[in-house]
Amino acid sequence: MFKKICFMLVLTMAVPFSAFAVDGAKLLQEIDRNLSPESYESYRKLINIEPSGAKKEFTLFTVKKGIDKVASVFLAPASEKGRSTLRLGENMWLNIPNVGKPIRITSMQSVVGGVFNNADIMQLDYAEEYDVKEVKEEEGEYLLLLKARTKSVAYDQLKIRADKKNRLPTKIECLTEAGMLIKTLYFKGVKDFGGGIVRPEVIETDSPLYKGYKSVMITAKIKKRTFKDEVFTLTFMPNLESLR
């Protein structure tokens, strides 16, 4: 028995440390699922805050299916009501009532102005757009270093800090290919939304490119829900509010 134990200890010592390292891809997928179900509906409020303290608020109803389909419709303010957005993978559109066909928009533009861009508002799973290059373990949290798979992604690199207990992000730094900071996202107020969804209620963002400006995204409701593929088409965009 003693020889067997010694042999097992030798084998354990011979295994390289990397064999016990965190699986970055699996961890990122866990973070994605903890942030939101694969398919869901949600109600969100977006608030843009200017250096003067002036605020502009928007209310959106959003639906998502799978890893690459997201659609939203504006419920407020009255000037924006009925506008809708659609994202299919890297492609995005904006539909304005009574203004003809949906128009193409890009990830770096913003349909609401402020610091959040379209990629932030119509966020896909991080694991869909990024590869994990490194995972570091620090006291109580993970630091994931991500690299975009294509040039069409809004941010070339992400640094995600996630708490170990809930495996939810607490802060994400969004960087250019050269490592310049574009913006920082802060995740606050972990809340139980029911149905097994426990995630941050608030996401705040600021940017060195927009000094003094801040944007806040508040999730009021989110729940699992399935949809037909036809919901995520250009022809259905004017009818998104009918899903409520």
* Domain residue limits, the chain: 22-243
pTM value is 0.87
Residue 121 to residue 135: CA distance in whole angstroms: 26
- pLDDT, one tens digit per residue, over 197-240 is 999 999 999 999 999 999 999 999 999 999 999 999 999 999 99
Give the separation between CA 46 and CA 155, rounded to whole angstroms: 21
Q: Report which of 87, 93, 92 is spatially closest to residue 124, judged by C-alpha positions.
A: 87
Report the C-alpha gap between 62 and 40 in whole angstroms: 8
Residue 135 and residue 149: Cα distance in Å, rounded?
17
What pairs with residue 41 in β-bridges?
63, 223
Contact 7, 124 (CB under 8 A): no
pLDDT in tens, the chain (244 residues): 545 544 444 444 444 444 456 799 999 999 999 999 999 999 999 999 999 999 999 999 999 999 899 999 999 999 999 999 999 999 999 999 988 899 999 999 999 999 999 999 999 999 999 999 999 998 899 999 999 999 889 999 999 999 999 999 999 999 999 999 999 999 999 999 999 999 999 999 999 999 999 999 999 999 999 999 999 999 999 999 999 9
User: Domain 22-243, what fold?
Assistant: outer membrane lipoprotein receptor (LolB), chain A (2.50.20)
Q: Residue 119 gets which letter from DSSP?
A: H
Q: Quickly list H helices, the chain.
A: 2-14, 24-35, 118-121, 126-129
- Picking from 146, 93, 120, 135, the residue whose alpha carbon sits closest to that of residue 207 is 120
- CA dihedral 116→118→119→123, nearest 10 degrees, is 90
H or E element in which residue 220 lies? strand 214-224
Find, among 95, 94, 92, 39, the residue nearest to 67 by Cα: 39
CA dihedral of 105, 109, 114, 115, whole degrees rounded to 10: 130
